[in-house]
Amino acid sequence: MLHTPFQLPCGAILQNRLAKAAMTERLCRADQLPHEDHVRLYESWAEARAGLMISGNIMVDRKHLESGGNIILDDESALPSLSRMTDAGKKYGHHFWAQISHSGRQTSVLVNRHPLAPSDVQLKKMGLFGKPRQMTEEQIETVIRQFVHTAVLCKKGGFTGIQLHSAHGYLLSEFLSPRTNTRTDQWGGSIENRARLLMRIVKETREAVGAEFPIGVKLNSADFQRGGFSPDDSLQVIRMLHDAKVDLLEISGGTYENVPFSGE
Task: Please provide the DSSP assignment of 190-229 as one string.
Answer: SHHHHTHHHHHHHHHHHHHH-TTS-EEEEEES--SSTTSS
% of the chain beyond a pLDDT of 70: 97
Determine the pLDDT at residue 91: 95
Distance, CA of 73 to CA of 61 (rounded, Å): 8
Residue-wise pLDDT for 118-174, tens only, equals 999 999 887 899 999 999 999 999 999 999 999 999 999 999 999 999 999 999 999
Name the nearest CA neighbour of 54 among 31, 12, 25, 15.
25
Decide the pairing of beta strands 6-7 and 13-14.
Answer: antiparallel
In the prediction, which pLDDT does 126 show? Answer: 74
pLDDT band, very low/low/confident/very high, at 263 (cuts 50, 70, 90): very low
**Residues of the chain with pLDDT > 90: what percent?**
91
Residue range 16-252, CATH number = 3.20.20.70
Measure the CA–CA gap between 161 and 154, rounded to whole angstroms: 8
The three-point CA angle 65-69-74 to 5° equals 55
Cα 57 to its chain centre, rounded Å, is 7
Q: What pLDDT was estimated at residue 163?
A: 98
Please give the mean pLDDT across all residues of the chain.
Answer: 95
Reported pTM: 0.95
pLDDT digits (tens, 9 = 90+) for 205-224: 999 999 999 999 999 998 78
* CA-based torsion, 232, 233, 235, 240: positive or negative: positive
Q: What is the largest CA-CA distance in the chain?
A: 49
Beta-strand relationship, 13-14 and 248-252: unpaired
- Tally of residues, the chain: 264
Distances (CA, A) of 230 to 115, 138, 139, 226: 25, 28, 27, 9
Torsion angles phi and psi, residue 188, rounded to 5: -145, 170
To 5 degrees, how large is the angle CA 135–CA 77–CA 81?
110
Instruction: Label residue 264 by pLDDT band (50, 70, 90).
Output: very low
Q: Are the CB atoms for 215 and 164 separated by under 8 Å?
A: yes
Q: What is the mean pLDDT of residues 55-82?
A: 96
**Spatial separation of the C-alpha atoms in residues 185 and 67, rounded to whole Å:** 31
